[in-house]
Chains A and B, each alone.
Chain A
Amino acid sequence: MQRYFLSKIGQSLLLIFGVLLLVFVMVRVTGDPAALMMPRESTAEEIEAFRERMGFNDPVTVQFLRFISGAVVGDFGNSLHFKTPAMPLVLQRLPATVQLATVGLLMAVIVGIPIGLIGGFNPGRIADSLGRLLALLGQSVPNFWLGLMMIIYLGVKLRWFPTFGRDEWKSVIMPAFVLGLPVMGQLVRLTRSAVLEIRGEDYIRTAHSKGLELRTIYYKHVLRNIAIPLVSVIGVQFGYMLGGSIYIEAIFAWPGMGGLLEQSIGWRDFPLVQAIAVFTSIVVVTLNLLTDITYAIIDPRIRYAR
């Protein structure tokens, strides 16, 4: 198992390096990163001065080394808009995004998995059909649009929840729900199909042939086998939620990293965009790594494999 861990960690590091490379390349892909970052009305001299200051005239390899060495210590330059270091600005926004993603995930898990289980154990019945409908809707409704609708109806018209900001504890409910809905849909489907698949496995037939109580069969044999793929998906989805909350945060004016991303794109503040992209990727990669490790621990086939 040691080898498994080491190789996974190695892959993660490679991944992060890949992200840094990608981010570096993307900003320069148009040929002139200075023109990208300066407002359109700038004069040629202003742009040239900017280019000098940012080091864009240096050879690419030098720029890259500078970038990497900065990245390793967390230095991504200064935000063009705020004129202060970029990374601390991002980190400041981290707790809000984590809170949003966590609450959203909790909602998705608490509602989604039981519905999926009911569907898997009673396929074809009404509860199952309703569950699958919910899953389908959850995955098809554009979450940014749903957010807007909820703001109008639940926020403004009915006044159940605050429509923006992070001031009260209630503020997190609507955005978390909207963020978590697609994940909920996916969990319903995944749980359901996992239950159906495992119920058809030979070893479940063996469990029945042993005359075990149904409760034993369901909990010890079926559910435990589902747990493995489920944990894996939940971990990955959490990562996506952390990295993909841009719309939700924008709509609900939630002070997280996604909201900052939307704003910095509007400001063309690419150093800040870079910082957000890299940091978010690191978070996601770390989460995937943790998920893989957990998976390896709970699946004995990997735990004891030579």
Chain B
Amino acid sequence: MSKILEVKNLVTKFYTLDGVVNAVNGVSFDLEEGETLAIVGESGSGKSVTMMSLLGLIPMPPGKIESGEVIFYGHQDLLQLTPAELRDVRGGQIGFVFQDPISTLNPILTIGEQISETLTRHKGMSKEQAREHTLKLLAQVGIPDPELRYKAYPFQFSGGMRQRVVIAIAIACNPQIIIADEPTTALDVTVQAQIVELFKQLRETLDVSVIWITHDLGVVAGIADRALVMYGGRPAEIAPVDDLYERPQHPYTLGLLGALPRLDDKEAKRLVSIKGTPPDLLIPLQHCPFAWRCEYAYDRCWQEIPPLITVGEAHQVSCFYDLKQGGPRDV
């Protein structure tokens, strides 16, 4: 299995009226071909900004991608591409699914048009060909009556159907990677399950790698191979999903899992919530962002930013405390 995406030390900041927001503070991770990587974190953890930064989709003032490399396919650094080259990659090789389908779609264009335009743009299809292909796509994502629905407008669909349209747009040009930013968060629970199912099917048929951003650990378990937990603009822990759930090495991950009610709990347990509030991103990062809320923090945690340390097979964590031994890590 080869790597299809390598992100190294991405740093993104926003220069706002209230100060400099340090949204992404040095994030590194890899994406393997064909796998589904979940990015987990709370609001403000930097998960969305990281993904948007990969293809320069953040508003640029006030945002700025300060440093880092994003190697796609093993040769192009996406951050060094010209705008024109970037536009070729967007949609053509990397597709996006966003969170809220009603605002993601242009209200005054038909959904058929919104799908077809990617085909004419990236695949050089004629309008007729694009239309034909779009109808197939609509069927593929499970929209009934594609002929009729082609000419419909977004407001005429339900939330779940709209999201299917958005997915159709994302997969239209057969991209290598799909980045989905909380695609199910704005939907009803039952519809969520349907969309997750759809994704699983498409994953098989299209042979695509997926990055799935979410704050819902339940969804992660359902769909992801590996997970990256983010906190305060830094990666906290990366591991295969099973490993993460059974042997979490970062106090934050531990906290997240503890806060999750589980069907297989033997007795009624108190849900543990993590004390404290998310970090203030206006303050430049000089130590572990989780230190304020961590019950294991000691003086080293306040002096340096912990780097990603390998603790197992494909398992890395950025923490100076060793949960297994119960004491400071020696690195």
Do A202 and B100 form a contact, CB below 8 Å, given A211-B89, A211-B90, A228-B108?
yes
Contact mask for chain B residues 166-186; partner A; CB cutoff 8 A; 1 contact, 0 none: 100100000000000000000
The answer to whether the Cβ of A30 comes within 8 Å of any Cβ in the partner chain is no
Cβ of A203 within 8 Å of any chain B Cβ, yes or no, is yes
9-residue interface stretch from B38-46, B72-80, B116-124, B200-208: B116-124
A residues less than 8 Å from B96 (CB atoms): 206, 209-210
Nearest chain A CB to B12 CB, angstrom units = 16
Task: Say if the beta carbon of B129 comes within 8 Å of chain A.
Answer: no
B117-A206 in contact (CB<8A): no
Interface size class of A (residues with CB under 8 A): 20 to 34
Q: Is A53 an interface residue (CB 8 A)?
A: no
Q: Are A211 and B104 touching (Cβ within 8 A)?
A: no
CA distance A198 to B309 in the complex (A): 44
- Interface SS of A by simple majority: helix
Q: Does B311 contact A (CB under 8 A)?
A: no
Query: Does A11 touch B at the CB level, under 8 Å?
Result: no
With both beta carbons as reference points, the residue of chain B lying nearest to A200 in the complex is identified as: B59
Contact check, B106 vs A207: say whether CB atoms are below 8 A apart. yes
CB distance from A276 to the nearest CB of B (A): 40
- Indicate if A31 sits at the interface (CB-CB under 8 A): no
If the complex has contacts A203-B104, A216-B121, are A209 and B87 also in contact, measured as CB distance less than 8 A? no
CB contact between B87 and one of A205, A211, A304 (< 8 Å): that residue? A211
- What number of residue pairs across chains A and B have CB atoms under 8 A from each other? 79
B92 within 8 A of A: yes
The complex places the Cα of A140 from the Cα of B121 at a distance, in Å, of: 46
Query: How extensive is the interface on chain B, given as a class?
Result: 20 to 34
Q: What separation, in Å, do the CA atoms of A206 and B96 have in the docked complex?
A: 8
In the complex the two chains form, is B104's CB within 8 Å of A206's CB?
yes
Q: Are A212 and B106 in contact (CB under 8 A)?
A: no
Indicate if the CB atoms of A213 and B57 lie closer than 8 Å.
Answer: no
CB distance from B211 to the nearest CB of A (A): 13
Partner of B91, one of A200, A211, A301: A211
Min CB gap A214→B, angstroms: 8
Question: Does B105 have its Cβ within 8 Å of any Cβ on chain A?
Answer: yes
Residue pair B117, A211 in contact (C-beta under 8 Å): no
Q: Decide yes or no: A300 and B153 within 8 Å by CB, A210-B117, A221-B106 being known contacts.
A: yes
Shortest distance in angstroms between B182's beta carbon and chain A's nearest beta carbon? Answer: 13
Interface residues of B (CB under 8 A from A): 55, 57, 59, 61, 86-92, 95-96, 98, 100, 103-109, 117-118, 121-122, 153, 155-156, 166, 169
A-B contact pairs, 9 of them (CB 8 A): A200-B59, A203-B103, A203-B105, A208-B90, A211-B91, A211-B92, A212-B121, A221-B106, A301-B153
Chain A residues with a Cβ under 8 A of chain B: 124, 200-203, 205-214, 216, 220-221, 224-225, 228, 299-301, 304
Q: A206-B106, A216-B121 are in contact. List 9 more A-B contacts (CB 8 A).
A: A203-B105, A206-B96, A209-B96, A211-B118, A216-B117, A224-B108, A225-B106, A300-B107, A301-B107
